[in-house]
Amino acid sequence: MKLELRGITKKFGAFTANDSIDLTVESGQVHSLLGENGAGKSTLMNVLFGLYEPTAGEILVDGTPVRFSGPGEAMAAGIGMVHQHFMLIPVFTVAENVALGDEHTRAAGVLDLEATRRRIREISDRFGFHVDPDARVEDLPVGVQQRVEIIKALVRDARVLILDEPTAVLTPQETDELLDIIRQLRDSGTAVVFISHKLREVKAISTQITVLRRGRVVGTADPGADQSELAALMVGRDVVLNRQKSAPTLGEETFTVSGLTVLSPDGVRLVDDVSFGIRQGEVLAVAGVQGNGQTELTEAIMGLHKAQGSIRLDGEELLGRTTRQVIRAGVGYVPEDRSTDGLVGPFTVAENLVLNRYDRPPAGNGLQLDPKAIRRLAEQRVQEFDIRTQGVDLPVGTLSGGNQQKVVMARELVDDLKLFIASQPTRGVDVGSIEFLHDRIIRERDSGTPVMIVSTELDEVLDLADRIAVMYHGRIIGIVPGDTSRDDLGLMMAGIDPAASPQDPTPKGATA
Amino acid sequence: MSAVTTQAAPTPGASGPASGPPDGGSALRHMMSGNGMVTVLAIVLSLVISAVLIILTNEDVMEAAGYFFARPQDTLVAAWEAVAAAYAALFRGAVFNYRAEDVTGMVYPFMESLTLSTPLIIISLGIAISFRSGLFNIGGQGQMIFGAMFATFFGVHLQLPVGLHLLLVLVMGILGGALWGSIVGVLKAATGAHEVILTIMLNYVAVNLVAYLLQTPVLQREGSTNPVSEFLEPTAVFPPLLGDSFRLNWGFVVAILATVFAWWLIRRSTTGFQLRAVGANPAAARTAGVSVKRMYVVAMVISGGLAGLAGMSQVSGTEKVLNTDVAGSFGFDAITVALLGRSNPVGVFFAGLLFGALRAGGVTMQTETGVPIDIVLIIQSLIVLFIAAPPLVRTIFRLPRPGALQARTTADPVTQPALAGAAAATTTSAGGTAPAAESAVVGDAVGVAAGDAVSPADPESPAGAGAPAGAPRDTPDAGPPPGGRPTASPTQPTTGEEGEQR
């Protein structure tokens, strides 16, 4: 099967998301679409999958022009898509999820899942997926859920499989397994479109690479291309990868957490007796797969979660204080999900920049705001952090992800911080902005602030950390130096301490 | 080893949409796609549809229609006359009576409109503030009753000097409403109970409580068997504003002051900032150190306080006694007015004036032309219907979609309140338990709030406003248009509230 996109253009009002893009995907190939956030990758794939109608251009399957008015037609034509955010119903079993939308019924409309189960086992055995058709999806680890998505596509005889940022949610090991699966699919004749902004993976898996920027194809490359070359193409300028940061100048250990435990409402130990300290001028990175207690750990420090134990900053106990008091104590906090916790979308950029400082000079006093001062402050921060907006009066929700993140960082990185905590500081942020944000974090460290970074991206952890604490199932598996190898960290993230005796390695319930 | 082949790489700013200073055309498009235009057109549309109803229910028209094919012009003339007479009477009763003999008679209708709009404006401001805080307060009725009860009690039973007495009654009215509102706020903050349920139920309690108290010595007029209170002391009522020929009283000035206060509260005060933040995104507000629970209580106290003030202005202004019907349909009309005013104090003020005028004019329309006053209710309802469905109005009048101006339409909940709201109202915060019609109202009114849950997401996030479940919304995979930073941006969205404030 050969799938061709010719001159695909997609406009949203005056904005051109895709500008006459040509792309050819053939069976037995893995074609990677590389580009920053907002480059138009997802839009293009949504056009291909029948979710958007292209403004111009045509789609050809085996040389015949086709038009998809919805995902159903695209699937019927043999195109399957695994979205970045899974489209699964958590309380359904694997078989039920796979059958959904393509149900077979027996007499009197009774659902016939047996056929679906059989196909799942068949596919699962062929590719070594190890998926139980009767397991409930919510009980499965993220990596397995992703396989269910792939099975969903394969059951519908997808001959072109689109994977949209498939590794964003996976551990390094799971990523390797996924790449293996993709290779098998490729060898069995499936055409794979692999969308990512992670250069390493793209290089590892692709047979062909197409780079998108600002809605256009800016270049093609083969997998042998140099990483920095690809990055430059993607961003439009040279990018420093793997910066060499200076050695830390360590001061006193002013921030300590000891015996911190956070319970879920039903008594599960989300954070389990965690202790660590951070010295002035040091970056401690908390690594781990999403959902192993990192979120609750930071939220407990910020007073957003009830907890037991002790959190001390400059000798003062923070535990039991309100969030406002913690912020007033000099803690800057970048939450992991900027659109939910970090920003008020309909508020202007200026308002968001004073979201936790509106009642203190110069933004205002206890009674009322000073709009002029807020504006001035905002314009200054926008310039300092190079936030690309057409005005500080625009709703922050209209900014791109990277610029939204810069707004949060600009708000939190204020003068005389006593502690800086950033969760996923560069999630969904393009390469160019990552460079900038990492610089700012290191600069904060060098000004003598203890810095705590929580990240699920190993690249980021290794770039920033002076020490790395790995969390697994609410516990800190170990705290290791910043130059620990990727493999060791990967093992620790799976719950195995390479230094200690091997533990039970079955990853379970990593979906929390 | 360059394995990379570069195709014409676009220079920044060369690609993407043109971004220049707004020319005349785009300025017009900007205006046309704004909410103000939708509001005006919604009013026009509802007047047109009501005209059809007037025609269909008019006897002369029906009679003429009996021989339509013989003399069609008769029908058309009759139809025109019916509508013209009705709307002319509406105008005479609401704005300016050009048939009156003296100036007093001419401006009387307008003064009457102002009088009738006074409590409506005040209570609607309260409702608007609750909307901005993400709370759907439909307990205006109960809070208004409580304000009226408190005001009446102190207005009847106390003897105090002029001025002081009125002030006390006013404060008591506010306190009464605030008290009733605070119950909702406290229960919601403490137990998470839904404010819609709480306010509905507390409305019943208030209605029956006032009915009961009006049959006990606490409030009932001495020697009366009817559920009605004593007249308020003369020191406890608003003096006339423009002489005794008009019913207009100082309550209207209070309404203006309340509008100014509400504007200041929402736009300028730190409390308002917190309220808006909580309303638009409680999670982010909490993370920024705002006590969301406290804000729920504050919002309900202020909202209820204004409703109570409306009740006080009713008994101290026009009625001068308390009866069981003091709140009438104010509590629900206020939701409509707040919605029409897009929860923006200045907008609410004028929406309240419009509704007051419709009430005043409706009476004249009924007495002079026989068109039932219910047509006014239909006009009001249709206005809200169209406001709640901006795409409908835009389609009918072929207005440009706001998306034509702003690349990322659905990312802005304010320009697309109905879309965002409708999705959110049925699924998330606002009115999952409310009846369907109310949910739609919730969605729009609190569009600011409810919409947020889905609005500011990453461009690549598939959780979309108004999009079918699971399908990525129709948002381009891209940030804002590249290019310079023009000082006046043609892509800046018109938002009712924010637009006014800049």
**Whether complex ipTM tops 0.85:** no
H helix or E strand, kind and range, residue A294 = helix A294-301
Question: Is the model's pLDDT at A245 over the cut of 80?
Answer: no
Flag the least confident range among A13-22, A26-35, A413-422, B198-207: A13-22
Give Rg (Cα) of chain B. 26
Whether residues A37 and B5 touch (CB distance < 8 A) is answered with no
Answer positive or negative: Cα dihedral of B65, B67, B72, B78: negative
**Strand A253-263 and strand A269-279: pairing?**
antiparallel
- Reported as a pLDDT band with limits 50, 70 and 90, residue A432 is confident
CATH of A254-493, one of 3.40.980.10, 3.90.226.10, 2.40.50.140, 3.40.50.300: 3.40.50.300
Give the angle subtended at the CA of A477 by the CAs of A475 and A478, to the nearest 5°.
130
**What is the full DSSP assignment across B102-160?**
SHHHHHHHHHHHHHHHHHHHHHHHHHHHHHHTT-----HHHHHHHHHHHHHHHHHH---
- Bridging pattern class, strands A79-82 and A64-66: unpaired
Q: Give the integer Cα–Cα distance in Å for B51 and B408.
A: 38
Going by C-alpha positions, the residue among A417, A411, A432 that lies closest to residue A343 is A411
State whether A324 and B290 contact (CB < 8 Å).
yes
Between B496 and A284, whose confidence is greater? A284
- A3, β-bridge pairs: A25, A61
Residue whose pair of structure tokens reads 């005028």 in the numeric block: B357
Closest partner CB to B281 (pick from A16, A233, A344): A344
Cβ-based burial of A297 (10 A; exposed 0-12, middle 13-18, buried ≥19): buried
CA distance B375 to A19: 53
Name the nearest CA neighbour of A250 among A276, A278, A277, A280. A280
Name the pTM for this structure.
0.75
Number of helices and strands (H, E) in chain B?
A: 20, 1
Helix axes B140-157, B164-191, angle to 10 degrees: 150
List of chain A residues whose C-beta atoms are within 8 Å of the C-beta of residue B502: 393
CB contact under 8 A, A224 and B1: yes
Q: Which residues of A touch B292 (CB under 8 A)?
A: none
- Exposure of A11 by Cβ count < 10 A (0-12 exposed, 13-18 middle, 19+ buried)? middle
Q: How far apart are CA B273 and CA B278, in angstroms?
A: 9
The answer, for B489 touching chain A at a CB cutoff of 8 Å, is yes
A356 neighbors B298 (Cβ within 8 angstroms): no
Q: Is the dihedral of CA A127, A129, A132, A135 positive or negative?
A: negative
Asked if the peptide bond before residue B217 counts as cis, ω within 30 degrees of 0, the response is: no
Average pLDDT over residues A347-354: 94
pLDDT at residue B472, rounded to an integer: 39
The phi, psi pair for A7, rounded to 5°, reads: 55, 40
A83 to chain B: which residues are within 8 Å by CB? Answer: 462, 472
Per DSSP, the three-state class of B350 is helix
So what's the pLDDT on residue A44? 87
- Specify the higher pLDDT residue, A196 or A322: A322
> Coil, strand, or helix at residue A163?
strand
pLDDT, position B27: 54
Report pLDDT for B33.
53
* Confidence check: pLDDT of A385 > 50: yes
| Pair A499, A509: CB distance under 8 Å | no
Using pLDDT thresholds of 50, 70 and 90, give the confidence band for residue A500: low
So where are chain B's domains?
117-354
Token readout for B137 is 């307060």
User: How is chain A split into domains, by residue range?
Assistant: 2-235, 254-493
Range of weakest confidence among A93-107, A308-322, B159-173: A93-107
Asked whether residue A154 carries a pLDDT value surpassing 80, the answer given is yes
The single residue listed with the structure tokens 């709307």 is B87
DSSP output for A316-350: EE-TT--HHHHHHTTEEEE-S-IIIII--TTSBHH
Question: What's at A399, amino acid-wise?
Answer: L
In the prediction, which pLDDT does A42 show?
79
- Amino acid (one-letter) located at A350: A
With beta carbons under 8 A apart, name residues in chain A contacting B270.
358-359, 364-369
Q: How many helices (H) and strands (E) does chain A have?
A: 16, 20
Residue A471: pLDDT above 50?
yes
Instruction: Identify the CA nearest to B416 among candidates B459, B473, B470, B458.
Output: B473
> Does the CB of B478 have a partner CB in chain A at under 8 Å?
yes
- For A104, the 3-state DSSP assignment is coil
pLDDT of residue B116: 94
pLDDT over 90 percentage in chain A:
35
Euclidean distance between CA atoms B467 and B471, whole angstroms: 6
Which of B12, B16, B281 lies nearest to residue A345, judging by beta carbons? Answer: B281
Q: Compute the distance between CA of residue A250 and CA of residue A362 in angstroms, rounded to an integer.
A: 33
- Spell out which residues of chain A touch residue B286, defining contact as CB-CB under 8 Å: 304, 323, 341
Q: What is the pLDDT of residue A390?
A: 83
Report the candidate in A161, A170, A130 with the shortest Cα–Cα distance to residue A148: A130
CA distance B56 to chain A (A): 42
- pLDDT per residue as tens, chain B (502 positions): 444 555 444 444 333 333 333 444 555 555 555 677 888 888 899 999 999 999 988 888 888 888 888 888 888 899 999 999 999 999 999 999 988 889 999 999 999 999 999 999 999 999 999 999 999 999 999 999 999 999 999 999 999 998 999 999 999 999 999 999 999 999 999 999 999 999 999 999 999 999 999 999 888 898 888 899 999 999 999 999 998 889 999 999 999 999 999 999 999 999 999 999 999 999 999 999 999 999 999 999 999 999 999 999 999 998 899 999 888 889 989 998 998 898 999 999 999 999 999 999 999 999 988 888 888 889 888 988 888 888 888 888 887 766 444 433 333 333 333 333 333 333 333 333 333 333 333 434 343 333 333 333 333 333 333 333 333 334 443 333 433 333 333 333 333 333 333 3
State the nearest Cα–Cα gap between B5 and chain A, in angstroms: 6
Contacts of A340 (CB under 8 A, 6+ apart): B281, B283, B284
Give chain B positions within 8 Å (CB) of A402: 479
User: What's the length of chain A?
Assistant: 512
d(CA A270, CA A268): 6
Domains A2-235 and A254-493 share a fold: yes
> What pLDDT is recorded for position B4?
52
Residue of A506, A501, A493 lying closest to A294 (CA atoms): A493
* pLDDT value, residue B29: 55
Find out whether B329 and B380 touch, Cβ atoms under 8 Å. Answer: no
Q: Mind listing the pLDDT tens digit for each residue in A434-460?
A: 888 999 999 999 999 999 999 988 888
pLDDT of residue A102: 77
DSSP state of B319: I
Please report the pLDDT score of residue B484 as a whole number. 37
Query: Measured between CA atoms, how close is A395 to chain B, in angstroms?
Result: 8
pLDDT band at residue A423 using 50, 70 and 90 as cut-offs = very high
Check B470 against A217: CB less than 8 A apart. no
- State residue A166's pLDDT score: 85
Cis before A362 (ω within 30) = yes
Q: Does B14 touch chain A (CB under 8 A)?
A: no
Q: Whole-angstrom Cα distance, residue A288 to residue B451? A: 33
E strands, A327-432, in order = 331-334, 419-423
Q: Worst-scoring range by mean pLDDT, A96-105, A230-239, A347-356? A: A230-239
Enumerate residues 230 to 289 of chain B having a beta carbon within 8 A of any beta carbon in chain A.
Answer: 264, 268-270, 273-274, 276-277, 280-281, 283-289
Tokens of B68: 């339509």
Closest CA in chain B for residue A400 = B479
Q: Go through chain B and tell me how many residues it has.
A: 502
Do residues A456 and A428 make contact, with C-beta atoms less than 8 angstroms apart?
no
Distance from B2 to chain A by nearest Cα, in Å? 7
Q: Does CATH place domain A2-235 in 3.40.50.300?
A: yes
How many angstroms separate the Cα of A308 from the Cα of each of A273, A327, A419, B252? 9, 20, 20, 56
pLDDT given for residue B272 in this prediction:
95
